[in-house]
């Protein structure tokens, strides 16, 4: 089922929680609404679910206008943060509950419950009391209950937020596999960037009730619309400067650490305009004896080094008190120490100039 939000507005008192939101979600897509607390993502989800009615705009499921349609007539399945399972029921009874409300006959009901248990790989738990399950198992049952009614749209409201870190990783894989088997159109709300990057087909980044950017995880990470997106989706360093020259998607930028060369110019800049250069910590390449012709090579001093096993993080200070973070993957047996000098370089493709003004804009 395709979903379309056409200039949706939802206010609470004088606050516009959702402000003129336009979105198109394709049939079968796993689509994420991502943003900080209070950005409007959960309000958007509740508008889609029918728990809130929009003050303006149209909500479409395919060719059908959903404004005014109550939640129980939308054929949606919902997975909540707290699972919302019935503690006095067995696993099968929990899954079958929505089918009972829809007055599905017993034979069909049992067949669909068995299929749902197979989908979440828990057929052996059919008769177990739901309050005897682990958090991850309960989350899978909540998914099965939402999917067993064969919804046109599956809605997930931060479903992994109550799980510990390791279980969240496992459940990400489970959700991806379950979605690939069901191919139900799914809208997933989270503030967890790693969740969105690892699971989403596409995502919308929200800020202050508005859509800032829409795209695939790779597009948004590599080509953020502005400084807010760059800093919210993953970590980044910002070095401010002024455009010295422009040529075919490349630029030279005068900065406090010297000239930065960029091969990732996708905003409309003018020579002399201020820019905020986003450089991801993993783009800082440490090496000795860098060839003198290599662009973007600098010297720094190590302020702090943190060994984390698969990565090592460095806090560096460059010329003029500019501080940046660097991440070295697969560190060896020796490392730089606090106070050590460090020579590094940055690939011009990893220097992303962004507008110095952080205005909302929608791309996709």
Residue 363 has a pLDDT of 36
**Under DSSP, is residue 13 helix (H, G, I), strand (E, B) or coil?**
coil
Residue 27 sits at the vertex; the CA angle it makes with 22 and 29, to the nearest 5 degrees, is 80
Let me know if 167 is exposed, middle or buried by CB neighbors in 10 A (0-12, 13-18, 19+).
middle
97-130 b/e (C-beta count within 10 Å ≥ 16 → b): bbbeeeebeeeebeebbeebbebbebeebeeeeb
Decide if 209 contacts 360 (C-beta within 8 A): no
Specify the pTM: 0.88
Which pLDDT score, from 0 to 100, does residue 80 have?
Answer: 85
Residue 353: helix, strand or coil by DSSP?
strand
Which pLDDT tens digit goes with each residue over 64-93?
A: 999 999 998 999 999 988 878 889 999 999
| Tokens at 201, concatenated | 């087909």
- Quote the distance between the C-alpha of residue 292 and its chain's center: 39
Domains of the chain are 3-227 (3.40.50.300), 228-355 (2.40.50.140)
List 144's β-bridge partners, or say none.
none
- From first to last of its 364 residues, the chain has per-residue pLDDT tens of 999 999 999 999 989 999 999 999 999 999 999 999 999 999 999 999 999 999 999 999 999 999 999 998 999 999 988 878 889 999 999 999 989 988 999 999 999 999 999 888 899 999 999 989 988 889 889 989 998 999 999 999 998 887 888 888 888 888 888 888 888 999 999 999 999 999 999 999 999 999 999 999 999 999 999 999 999 999 999 999 999 999 999 999 999 999 999 999 999 999 999 999 999 999 999 877 788 889 999 999 999 999 888 889 999 999 878 999 999 888 877 778 888 999 999 999 999 999 987 544 433 3
Kindly list the strands in the beta sheet with 258-262, ordered across the sheet, starting from the edge strand earlier in the chain.
Answer: 258-262, 250-255, 237-247, 274-279, 352-355
Q: Which residues pair with 261 in a beta bridge?
A: 252
In this structure, are residues 227 and 233 in contact, taking their beta carbons and an 8 Å threshold?
no
pLDDT at 358: 55
Please state, in angstroms and rounded to a whole number, the distance separating the CA atoms of residues 184 and 194: 22
Q: Using the 8-state DSSP alphabet, how is residue 163 labeled?
A: S
Structural tokens at position 234:
């993953």
Q: What is the dihedral of CA 127, 133, 135, 141, to 10 degrees?
A: 0
Reported as half-sphere exposure (CB side, CA atoms, 13 A), residue 18 has a value of: 26
Which residues have CB under 8 Å from 154's CB, separation 6+? 76, 77, 78, 79, 146, 147, 179, 182, 184, 185, 186, 187
Cα–Cα distance for residue pair 135/199, rounded to 1 Å: 20
Helices 135-148, 91-101: crossing angle, 10 deg rounding: 20
């Amino acid at each position: 089922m395709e979903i379309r939000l056409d200039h949706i507005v939802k206010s609470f008192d004088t606050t516009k929680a959702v402000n003129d939101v336009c979105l198109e979600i394709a049939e079968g897509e796993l689509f994420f609404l991502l943003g900080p607390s209070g950005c409007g993502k959960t309000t958007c989800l509740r508008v889609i679910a029918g728990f809130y009615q929009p003050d303006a705009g149209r909500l479409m499921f395919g060719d059908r206008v959903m404004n005014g349609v109550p939640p129980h007539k939308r054929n949606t399945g919902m997975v909540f943060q707290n699972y919302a399972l019935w503690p006095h029921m067995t696993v099968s009874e929990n899954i079958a509950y929505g089918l009972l409300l829809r007055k599905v006959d017993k034979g069909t009901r049992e067949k669909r419950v068995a299929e749902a248990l197979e989908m979440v790989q828990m057929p052996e738990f059919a008769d177990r009391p739901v309050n005897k399950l682990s958090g991850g198992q309960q989350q899978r049952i909540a998914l099965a209950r939402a999917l067993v009614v064969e919804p046109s749209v599956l809605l997930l409201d931060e479903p992994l937020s109550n799980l510990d870190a390791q279980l969240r990783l496992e459940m990400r894989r489970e959700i991806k596999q379950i979605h690939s088997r069901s191919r139900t159109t799914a809208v997933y709300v989270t503030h967890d960037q790693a969740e969105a990057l690892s699971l989403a087909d596409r995502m919308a980044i929200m800020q202050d009730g508005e859509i800032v950017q829409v795209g695939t995880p790779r597009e948004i990470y590599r080509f953020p619309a502005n400084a807010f997106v760059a800093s919210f989706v993953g970590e980044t360093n910002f070095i401010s400067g002024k455009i010295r020259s422009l040529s075919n998607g490349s630029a030279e930028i005068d900065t406090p650490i010297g000239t930065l060369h960029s091969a990732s110019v996708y905003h409309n800049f003018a020579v002399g305009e201020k820019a905020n250069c986003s450089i991801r910590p993993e783009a800082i390449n440490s090496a000795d004896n860098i060839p003198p012709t290599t662009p973007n090579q600098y010297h720094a001093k190590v302020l702090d080094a943190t060994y984390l096993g698969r990565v090592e993080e460095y806090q560096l200070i460059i010329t003029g008190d500019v501080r940046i973070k660097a991440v070295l993957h697969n560190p060896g047996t020796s490392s730089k120490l606090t106070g050590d000098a460090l020579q590094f370089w940055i690939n011009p493709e990893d220097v992303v100039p962004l507008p110095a003004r952080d205005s909302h804009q929608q791309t996709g």
